[in-house]
Amino acid sequence: MNKKIQLDSISRLLDIMDELREKCPWDQKQTFESLKSLTIEETFELADAISDNNINEVKNELGDLLLHIIFYSKIASETNLFDISDVAKSITNKLIFRHPHIYGDLSGLDEKQVKSNWEKLKLQEGKKSVLEGVPKALPSFIKSMRIQEKVSNVGFDWAKRKDVKNKILEELNELELELESGNSENIESELGDLIFSVINYARFIGVNADNALEKTNKKFIKRFMNIESQLKKNKKIFSDITEKEMISYWKKSKN
């Protein structure tokens, strides 16, 4: 598809947004605040579509997110705060500034160097910390991943995989000690440290921990529902079977 067709499609969407704000009672009432939770929901729906490798739904959900970007921009333009062109200019200027290896005098950088330089450039933009850009509202699991990735980009990282593994074992031992003490606050803290270390290990070996966990969630759901189906056929419920039988059902569900 050529750029003219692409621009015409976006122009049509902008026209529709103008009409909706003028004529639709629901659209007229929307604000930044009222749209916020809907935008978050749309983002998770996009994530689901990507996880399911449903390309048609990825396209549809991207459309929903594009609409939200245009919606926010339209609302802002009505009070002369900014408009969609300002949004585009903002990201354009940012991309040019943060890619000096493309638009500047740097060259020959590998991926790791690009990431490291990216964080340094963000500090030049006025950020006081490389972690300042991590959204507070991110789910804790993903937030841990972003924190670890960002500090790694500036050189705060383990040297060897064995070191990361040993950190997991260390945190597990500390959790066991706190379990023996019975201090619930310390137990929670040590469990958090353990989870954080496992997420860090995943990053170190090149695995997206969130994706890995979601695949395990889906795998567990599928297997558990298979067990439920088998129990139903046998006219049983979980309280009717022994632990040994439960393990047997689980092994069968894996096959």
The answer to whether 117 and 106 are in contact (CB under 8 A) is yes
171-194 pLDDT, tens digit per residue, is 999 999 999 999 999 999 999 999
What's the burial of 231, exposed, middle or buried (CB within 10 Å: 0-12/13-18/19+)?
A: middle
What's the confidence (pLDDT) of residue 66?
97
What's the confidence (pLDDT) of residue 10?
95
- In whole angstroms, what is the distance from residue 199 CA to residue 61 CA? 28
CATH of span 3-96: 1.10.287.1080
Tell me the pLDDT band of 55, cut-offs 50, 70 and 90: very high
- In whole angstroms, what is the distance from residue 3 CA to residue 215 CA? 37
User: Quick one: average pLDDT of 54-70?
Assistant: 97
Highest mean pLDDT among 38-52, 70-84, 119-133, 144-158: 70-84
The answer to whether 70 and 17 are in contact (CB under 8 A) is yes
104-145 pLDDT, tens digit per residue, is 888 888 888 888 887 888 888 878 898 988 988 889 999 999
User: Quick one: average pLDDT of 221-244?
Assistant: 93
230-239 pLDDT, tens digit per residue, is 999 999 999 9
- In whole angstroms, what is the distance from residue 196 CA to residue 177 CA? 18
- In whole angstroms, what is the distance from residue 36 CA to residue 38 CA? 5
Tell me the pLDDT band of 1, cut-offs 50, 70 and 90: low
User: Quick one: average pLDDT of 50-77?
Assistant: 96
